Amino acid sequence: MEITSLQNAQVKKWARLKQKKYREAEGRFLIEGMHLVEEAGKAGLLTHILCTKETVPPCPDIPCTHVTRAILDKITGSVSGSDIAAICRFPDRSDENASRWILLDRIQDPGNLGTIIRSAYAFGYDTILLSEGCADPYNEKVIRSTQGALFHLCIRSCSLPDAVNDLKQHGVPIYATALHKDSIPLAQLSVPDTFAVLFGNEGQGVSEELLAMSDATLFIEMERFESLNVAVAAGITLYEMKQKRHP
Amino acid sequence: MEITSLQNAQVKKWARLKQKKYREAEGRFLIEGMHLVEEAGKAGLLTHILCTKETVPPCPDIPCTHVTRAILDKITGSVSGSDIAAICRFPDRSDENASRWILLDRIQDPGNLGTIIRSAYAFGYDTILLSEGCADPYNEKVIRSTQGALFHLCIRSCSLPDAVNDLKQHGVPIYATALHKDSIPLAQLSVPDTFAVLFGNEGQGVSEELLAMSDATLFIEMERFESLNVAVAAGITLYEMKQKRHP
């Protein structure tokens, strides 16, 4: 099957998936580019592939529609001239067996959120809880920054104070990151097997409410007293906690 | 003095500084927002402040022109509705006394470049050398991501192979970062007082030519074999090298 008209009703329906409300209504999201389509295929999330006639799609079992490059640009809203895109179902992963959690408090920048998800996957985390006010993880910029890592993780939005209360009732210590000099230097932390680590908003850091609920606050020692980009701070924290568990 | 017309010749001249060729021709660049203007003031780089009548500019000695918010939006090309912007001279810092260098090979994304510069400053570096093909450090997205750190550093574009040869002739070891499993795990490196560390392009990493010239390649140990965003990888590397020098 091939579609060549930009006015085609199905093209308009696919293009709507750029908006969160349609993603949620249809339980589907949109990805673009061969690398992401391959990663979504490995994770079993593809429902439909859209590509130019010249492109060989990676998963022969998945329904595929040939479209023009102009249609791909319209659907994805990008100008990068991709020759493949796909529609995916949301991952349906449980955090029932999780032993380590990443909690994100109002991470607003899509690039930062995606980069943190990418690092989380690389450092062996499986569960990320997002507060209200975080960027939507199925936003196209977030997905691109994750390089596909989010297809493999359990990522859900919730009330972080409720989640923290719940974790504490199960004996899980909560470590918040902060710039306070009276926090524990990250390098001096003894890292248990089970814990949750909490990163906060780009400008304001972790909310006072969540800081007060945390078991300890950590800070990253620098040479000059400056702040770091939150995705960099998260990367350093996840790296150091991994080194401490498995030196 | 106050300017209210979007067609004013001086407004058009300031707005041209969004383009690299005009920045280089005039030896000036443009910044936006109170935090950056304050930081540029501390670094002695301000030549002219532009702000709305209601705004109190931070440096009373610097010439100031009142403009409308529409003019600020036109000059900065932003839609963030800043009420202050400024024209700056380029920092004129020497790397004569540098003992540690960061070398960046074709870091193309302005956000990544700016974030690396921000981390470099926090971890005590003073000199960053950029290859051809890096984003322009005076691009507005780079400046915003640095949070002003670039005002305080020596950042210059050069031929990286020439710079590496020069550093090696002075006995400075060059550490490249790579995903190769046969590299030295970052945590096992002995960090000397003087060295240069090299980070490479988002998709391709450090060029083969520069890898071949390096004294060692480093890799960051992860739980899953994945790649990290280059600004995160740089942040982790600078953090770990600092910890090893001053545990």
What is A2-89's CATH topology? 60s Ribosomal Protein L30; Chain: A; (3.30.1330)
Indicate the burial class of A162 (C-beta count within 10 angstroms; 0-12, 13-18, 19 or more).
Answer: exposed
Chain centroid, CA A109 distance in Å: 11
**Nearest CA to A218 among A190, A246, A176?**
A176
pLDDT reading at B88 higher than 90: yes
pLDDT at B181: 61
Question: How far apart, in whole angstroms, are the C-alpha atoms of residue A213 and residue A174?
Answer: 8
The DSSP 8-state label assigned to residue B201 in this structure reads B
Residue-level pLDDT at A123? 96
**Which pLDDT tens digit goes with each residue over B93-103?**
888 888 999 99
Is B81 within 8 Å of chain A by CB? no
Question: Cβ of A247 under 8 Å from any chain B Cβ?
Answer: yes
Alpha-carbon gap: A5 to the closest alpha carbon of chain B (Å): 34
User: Who among B121, B124, B223 is closest to A123 (CB)?
Assistant: B223
Contact A119 B145 (CB under 8 A): no
**Residues of chain A predicted below pLDDT 70:** 181
At A13 the three-state DSSP class reads helix
Q: Is the CB of B123 inside 8 Å of chain A's CB atoms?
A: yes
Nearest residue of chain A to residue B232 (CA atoms)? A232
**CB within 8 Å: A122 and B187:** no
Give domain limits for chain A.
2-89, 100-245
| B148: chain A residues, CB-CB within 8 Å | none
Q: Hey, is the C-beta of B73 within 8 angstroms of any chain A C-beta?
A: no
CATH of domain B100-245: 3.40.1280.10
**pLDDT, greater one: B239 or B1:** B239
* pLDDT score for A107: 98
Q: Cβ of A240 and B239 within 8 Å?
A: yes
The alpha-carbon gap from A4 to the nearest alpha carbon of chain B, in Å, equals 32
Q: What is the mean pLDDT of chain B?
A: 94
- B149 interfacial to chain A (CB closer than 8 Å): yes
Q: Report pLDDT for A96.
A: 82
B132 with B156: CB under 8 angstroms?
no
User: Which pLDDT tens digit goes with each residue over B113-157?
Assistant: 999 999 999 999 989 999 999 999 999 999 999 999 999 999 999
Compute the C-alpha angle A100/A98/B233, nearest 5°: 40
pLDDT in tens, A213-235: 999 999 999 998 788 999 999 99
